[in-house]
Amino acid sequence: METSAIFGLGKLLGHHCLALNAIVANRVVQQFSKDGKAAVEKLIVAFFGESGRDLKQQSVILIFV
């Protein structure tokens, strides 16, 4: 739901958007991550790489819901 708003707003403003998701809960089998923050940080490192990307030249907005 939140992603659709980001994509809709991005399209209206002429931006390219990307959504990355860290799965922290499997509600079907009632399995939950013990450390959701670590899952999100692992996702960010996997996307940007260990050394990180030069974010000064990029427009990046990270939204945590």
The CA–CA distances, whole Å, from 13 to 9, 19, 51, 56 equal: 6, 17, 30, 21
Q: What is the pLDDT of residue 60?
A: 54
**Could you report the per-residue pLDDT of 3-57, keeping only the tens digit for each?**
888 889 889 999 888 888 888 888 899 988 888 888 888 887 888 776 555 544 4
Q: What is the pTM of this model?
A: 0.56
The CA–CA distances, whole Å, from 19 to 5, 10, 26, 29, 44 equal: 11, 12, 19, 25, 11
Domain ranges of the chain: 19-65
Q: What is the pLDDT of residue 28?
A: 92
- Is the per-residue pLDDT at 65 higher than 50? no
